[in-house]
Chain A
């Protein structure tokens, strides 16, 4: 047998491109220690520090335990860190440094890297979710969710909603520096006032009212209500659905490659 080089006319395999791009982006995420720490280790650290009080039923949480309220919040924290801090920083950096421009000159539509980023968001959020749930149930007496499928649906909608938020930030903010500044200005008040780091039930009234205006509050509620009360928070899910639609429309119209 002689080997010959065959010039095939078939297009490159999109699934192979997407899986390879996603795998590389995932590796790049874990090579950034700060990103990996803030996204995955910080919520675990908060659970370890705040979980010492146990998970006995508490009338302050409508009969649920503190851990049952904290863990949905920490899941929301992972989603917020990915959507607000990680995604816009990566995309703004890629645009500023010409990574996206270079991709434009290949046969692959650069949109592939946006889809890969979305998959990376979902995969890392899932890692965070699994770590928190396994640690919570094995060490901190976290109760199993009352309506697990509704929790899962809320989680998916929340990841998509905050990814859409992140894409809009990356689309409208001009530089990596301004993106980091604006994203931080949104992120830090949001994680403290939404119930993501501290139960909303224990916030002063004025802080909770500010929280009502923050999208992250609806991630916390959408995950927490089916978890502790066994029913969907329809309003919270609606808010997140609106975020997905509005964010996708805005981001696709406004996104710039260079």
Chain B
């Protein structure tokens, strides 16, 4: 099947700074495709070029078989968008926004049905400025879907939401995909990408540094585990020397972390037991996309 998005060598420069440096990727129909990376990695600029909102300085991009800049009007009929830091007029009411945006599309969805689907019926007469963060996000998703799109771009949808609202938004994104819409999700939250996305492109400094399923990316990162415990009285770091598969250990205050591969938890417990040390809170953490990013770039996502 023809990919929904094909980018090849996509490049964008501002003066001397190359913010997008030869990005190539394909998005398949019906998937949730994640574009992840730290703030300033070039994620938003990349999707803005895919939407025809910015011209590229090199490379090519095809979206739904269309060229975004040349076929902008047709593309925007078929693509829904939630933009980072884009809002509505403060005093515009929820139903007015949906009613207005519905006139922009040749095949609009019923605003009433969208209000119901996204749990906004009670808020239909509320002014935009009075909505909570979660309500705004639901309205933005509804607006992205009003034109019955085949593809939606959701840019940093959960930034600024509390953990509960974030999880609720994740369910909404899954609900969008369940209707057959392809979703491109831009985020700097690695847990979000790992939970939601079928495939993820990791972008750093304007380049795709990895592109695969979240599970494969974590595996490529070395399938690292972390064993964590609170140092009991009598514990000394040298007691951890010589553990098979351990690649490092670190102590911050009373918290000790051992990283490595294999049956690490059992081996750490055994090594401590030989010194009559039994920590009360020995736990193991599998590595996640955040660790994979660290392994790929040598930096944390937020640095």
Contacts and interface: CB of A to CB of B under 8 A. Distances in A.
B87 A102 contact: yes
Given A98-B85, A102-B87, A106-B101, A24 B92 contact: yes
B40 to A, nearest CB: 18
A213 B91 CA distance: 38
A102 B89 contact: no
Given A24-B92, A107-B105, A99 B87 contact: yes
B100 A20 contact: yes
A27 B87 CA distance: 18
B296 to A, nearest CB: 31
A253 interface: no
B83 A98 contact: yes
Contact of B107 (A7, A32, A101, A104): A7
B104 A108 contact: yes
B114 to A, nearest CB: 15
B147 interface: yes
Interface in A69-104: 94, 97-99, 101-102, 104
A107 B147 contact: yes
A32 B100 contact: no
Contacts of B73: 11, 107
A12 interface: yes
A32 B51 CA distance: 34
Contact of B91 (A8, A11, A12, A28): A28
Interface in B80-98: 81, 83, 85-89, 91-92, 96
Contact of B92 (A7, A11, A28): A28
Interface size class on chain B is 20 to 34
B104 A107 contact: yes
Contacts of B267: none
Contacts of A107: 73-74, 76-77, 104-105, 147
**Secondary structure class of chain B's binding surface, majority of residues:** loop
B106 interface: yes
- Indicate the member of A16, A20, A27, A107 with the most B CB atoms within 10 Å: A107
A32 B99 CA distance: 21
Contacts, number: 70
Contacts of B77: 107
Contact of A102 (B88, B91, B107): B88
Contact of A27 (B86, B96, B101, B147): B96
B104 A106 contact: yes
A74 B127 CA distance: 33
B87 A97 contact: yes
Contacts of B89: 28, 94, 99
A13 B92 CA distance: 22
A21 interface: yes
A13 B81 CA distance: 21
B53 interface: yes
B91 A31 contact: yes
A231 to B, nearest CB: 43
A193 B101 CA distance: 44
26 contacts: A5-B107, A10-B106, A12-B105, A13-B103, A21-B100, A24-B96, A24-B100, A28-B89, A28-B92, A97-B86, A98-B83, A98-B85, A99-B88, A99-B89, A101-B53, A101-B86, A102-B86, A102-B87, A104-B53, A105-B76, A105-B81, A106-B81, A106-B105, A107-B76, A107-B77, A107-B147
Interface of A: 5, 7-13, 16-17, 20-21, 24, 27-28, 31-32, 94, 97-99, 101-102, 104-108
